[in-house]
Amino acid sequence: MKSKKLLLFICCFPSLLIAQDISSDTTKINEVIIQENRFQIPFNQHSRNIQVLTKKDLKALPSTSINEVLRYVAGLDIRQRGPFGTQADIGVDGGSFDQTLLLLNGVKLSDPQTGHHMLNIPIPMESIERIEILRGPASRMYGINALTGAINIVTKQVENNSVYGHLYAGSSFKKVEETDQDGIYYGTGLQLGGTYYNKKHQHQLYGSKEHSNGQRYNTGSDNEKLFYQNSIVLNEDHKLQMMAGYIHNEFGANGYYAAPGDKNSKEIVETFLSSISSHHQISESWYINPRINYRYNEDDYRYFKNDLSKGRSQHYTHSLSGELHAYRQSKYGDLGLGLESRYEKINSSNIGEHSRNNLGFFTEFRSTYFKDFIFNLGAYLNYNTDYDWQVFPGLDISYLINENFKISASSGSSQRIPTFTDLFLNQRPGNIGNPNLKSENAWQNEISTSYNRAGFTFKTGYFYRDIHNFIDWIRTSNDEPYQAQNLGNNKTHGIFANSLYNHKISANKNLNFNFSYTYLNPSIINEYKDSFIKYGIESLKHQVQGIITFQCSNWTITTANRFLQRASSNSYFVSDARISYQNKKYTVYADMQNIFDANYIEVGAVPMPSRWATLGMKLNLNTHY
């Protein structure tokens, strides 16, 4: 306890000192840093376990949705309930789907109802510039619910006028299972969009439609998305950005949440999100970034889709937040200050009507002032009307042994507040909440080393995380519903290693290797040893990823392979591949997923598709390459 208090003091004290320094620095701060997306410091100067999927990576991977590309990232556990982004949970380094924070251009996609809908993001792959993944506690930077990590999806900046189209279709060429209907299992998708560029304002608009008839009885899906974003330059010191998106997702939910009784269940999810932010340079060294964002989610779960008189759950959730970030650069380092306020409300048929407020204050200081050292330290002070005051300090430090070799260490705390589903759900006979739940609190320490030279990058490290009041859903027999409980402490030891090598064969030929390994050893100390645990028992233990990409002129061939073994000893190997041809106007590609036809389940009682082939074509007119 004394060490944690000392770290809190260390994290806050330099911010108090530097805030009083009035020296000026005329160095122009890079705009992406001003946006307070703290991932976006120069990549070779960060001290955390950060990974980035670039636009080039996204084009090469054999995937058509955000859910699918994230499964190739080390440490991420994507548990899908079907292809085409139907529904999926995401965890980081053994954490649950409620312990990972998702952001879109730095905007927190808070879902106080349940983390099952966090990946309902209304943007197509084409609009993404990169995806930044931070492994480890991120509450110091982003507040509550970034317990085990954060994922920030950054959309591209418009640079010209363009028209975009993407048509794709896939099938397993097998008949739909558990039904007498004729036909094979298939899925189709269409995306349309465009961008408009003007020196003073830029705009982008995308829409998409996806349909699948389902590989099993009652697992078909329909998915529509719409996304708009603009950027308005008032003058060189003041800029405005707005975005809005809508998604409608309807799918048969056979085996998704409460198998085997939910065979005839159905779910309809609608999500709307919007944000308006601005960036202002108010002096040579001070910048401010205010932002307001709103998210609405409507979830209609029908346990018996043909009988709405019973087993129906309707949830209407609102989340409204405002943020104010301030940034200052001096010769000693960069100082970030800010506050945020969020109001959350739900009106539900079987959760009831509830609301809560959250208020947070943060400070962060980053410095490269001392030769060969990088410091990043800060603290987040949070107040929640249901869970009172909490403080999340953190410290990152790196030592540059030479221009290629670096050693880093970090220590920090984080918190997750239970969702309204965790607390108040009354969905008998499947699941019931627990209004007496305590918040989850974690502390994580990590040490790592990295080497970077001539197209070769290698990083390896160890972390230890201790989550107090760990929450999972349990039951003592199959005749009882699952109920959320604080299971005690979840202690996790983790080892990770990532390597990346880019070999330039000739002027128009490149070969890229990307390999990673993650080992997790979790232990849940609890008094429910004779109970069935719903999610934790399937957390990852071993994860091996291997991606090889060969590029020759306009042709690209990628093979993406992953081996996963879960804590239950369930293991599987999945191999995917893509071959594509691209020129300035169009791209044609063919994907083959699950080449060796592995049988596996990622979550619930939903077998994942067998061998699956997809053909697609993208059209880009007047696009700058």
Q: What is the pLDDT of residue 70?
A: 93
Residue with tokens 């002027």: 507
CATH number at residue 544: 2.40.170.20
Cα distances from 472 to residues 523, 534, 581, in angstroms, run 13, 7, 46
Q: Return the pLDDT at 185.
A: 87
CA triple 428-566-149, angle to 5 deg:
80
Nearest to 1 by CA among 469, 466, 494, 471: 466
Q: Range of 463's domain?
A: 2-621
Which positions of the chain have pLDDT values less than 50?
1-40, 42, 625
CA distance 300 to 267: 6
Among 607, 604, 568, 606, which residue's Cα sits nearest to residue 258?
Answer: 604
Q: Please tell me the pTM assigned to this model.
A: 0.90
Q: What is the pLDDT of residue 12?
A: 43
- How would you label 128-153 residue by residue, b for 16+ Cβ within 10 Å and e otherwise? bebbbbbbbbbbbbbbbbbbbbbbbb
CA distances from 368 to 22, 85, 550 (A): 19, 41, 38
Dist. CA 104–CA 273, nearest whole Å = 10
Count how many domains the chain has.
1
Q: Is 583 exposed, middle or buried (0-12, 13-18, 19+ CB in 10 A)?
A: exposed
CB atoms within 10 A of CB 526: 18
Could you tell me if 271 and 296 are in contact, meaning their C-beta atoms sit under 8 angstroms apart? yes
Q: What is the pLDDT of residues 323-363, one digit of tens each?
A: 999 988 888 888 888 899 999 999 999 999 999 999 999 99
Structure tokens belonging to residue 177: 């299972």
DSSP secondary structure letters along 248-260: EEEEE-TTSSSTT
pLDDT of residue 478: 79
CA distance 219 to 252: 4
Q: What's the pLDDT score for residue 30?
A: 31
Provide the pLDDT for residue 69: 92
Quick count: other Cβ atoms within 10 Å of Cβ 50?
A: 19
As given in the structure block, the two tokens for residue 456 are 């070769």
- DSSP assigned state of 287: E
Tokens of 217: 């009885």
Q: What is the CA radius of gyration of the chain?
A: 24
The sign of the CA dihedral 180, 183, 187, 191 is negative
Residue 13: what pLDDT?
Answer: 40
Percent of residues in the chain assigned helix, strand, coil, to nearest 5: 10, 60, 30
Q: Are 127 and 204 in contact (CB under 8 A)?
A: yes
For 342-358, b where at least 16 C-beta lie within 10 A, e where not — what string? bbbbbebebbeebebeb
**DSSP one-letter code for 601:** B
